[in-house]
Amino acid sequence: MPGYGIPSPSSDDRLAAPHEIAVTAGAGDGHRAAARGALWCAWARGHPLAAYVIVAYALSWACWIPLVVNGSVVTLGGSVSQFPGLLGPMVAAFVVTAVTEGRGGVRDLASRMVRWRVPVRWWLFAIGTPLLLLASAGVVTAVGSGRFVPSDFGRMAGLPQWGVVFVWAMFIVVNGLGEETGWRGFAVPALRRRHGLLAASLLLVPLWAGWHLPLFLLLQNYRDLGPVGLPGFLIGLSCGSVLLAWLYESASASVLIVAVWHGTYNLTTATAGGHGTTAAIVSTGVMVLAALIAWRHHHTPGDTP
C-alpha cells in the first residue's frame, strides 16, 4: 500500500524472503572462503617452506594429538598406530607444490619419488650401510649377551606382527616415502636455494624435530627416552639430516633412495630387535658417517649454489 511507508513488492529495496537471505548469506560465505583460500595461496607462494611446515604439522598432528588426548600409547600388539600420521609430510609437499609450482612441479616431485635409475653404488649404500651396521651390532650383541633374535626385527609398535619383510616394506613405503617426500624432496631443495648442504641440513633439524613432538607422548620407545635422552635424539636427528641430504643430492635427487635408507635404518633401530646395544651401535655408525660427510663438504669448495 503505497503512501503509508510500507514497501511495495515491486520496489527495488523490497524485503528479501527468508530463502533469499539464506542464499545470499551462503554466497557471501563462499566468496569469503574463496578469498581466504586465495590469500593463503598467495602467501604460500611467497613462503613455500613455512607453508609446507604448517601443512605437514597440521596433517600429522591431526592424526596423533587425538590419540594423545585419549591417553593412547602405541605399543607392540596394540590397537592404535602412528603410521597414518607419517604420511603428513608427503601430502603437505604435494599440496604446497601444487600451489606454488602447478602441475609441472607436482609431476617433478612424483617422478623423484619413484626415481630408481641411479648408479648402483647408491642402492648399495642405501640398503647396505644400515644392514652392515646391524650385522656389526649383531656380532657384538651375540658375543656379549648371547641373545640376538632376527625375528624381533619383524615386531614394530603400531604394525601387525606379519614378519620382517612386511615391517621393512611399511618402513620404506609409509615411513620412508611419507617423510622423505617432504623433508628431503621439498624442504631441502627450498633451503638449498640460499644455503649450502650442511647449513640447509642443520636448519632443517628444528623443523623436523618439532614435527616429532606428539610422538614423545604417543610412542613407548620415545617416552622411554625421557629428558635425559632428548639431547641424544637431537644429535642423532642432526646426523641423519646431514646424511640424508647428502644422499638425496648424490643419488640424482631420488626421494626413493633416501626413503629406502630411512626405512632400513628404522628397521634396525625402531623395532623390538633394535633396542639397547643394537640401536647404540647403529646410531654411532650413522654419526661417524655424518661426520665424514660434514668434513668432506667443509673442505670442498663451491658447495653453496
- Give the model's confidence band at 62: pLDDT under 50 very low, under 70 low, under 90 confident, else very high: very high
Over residues 24-37, the mean pLDDT reads: 70
Average pLDDT over residues 143-154: 80
pLDDT reading at 144 higher than 90: no
Regarding predicted confidence, which is higher, 185 or 136?
A: 185
d(CA 278, CA 29): 57
Query: How much is the average pLDDT of 83-94?
Result: 98
Task: Return the pLDDT at 302.
Answer: 54
User: What's residue 286's pLDDT?
Assistant: 95
- pLDDT tens digits, residue range 219-276? 988 988 888 889 999 999 999 999 999 999 999 999 999 999 999 999 999 999 988 8
For 230-244, write each residue's pLDDT tens digit: 999 999 999 999 999
pLDDT at residue 5, rounded to an integer: 41
Average pLDDT for 116-134: 96
Categorize the per-residue pLDDT at 145 as very low, low, confident or very high, splitting at 50, 70 and 90.
low
What number is the average pLDDT over the span 145-170?
90
* pLDDT score of 148: 75
pLDDT of amino acid 10: 44
Across 150-177, average pLDDT: 95
| pLDDT for the residue numbered 28 | 64
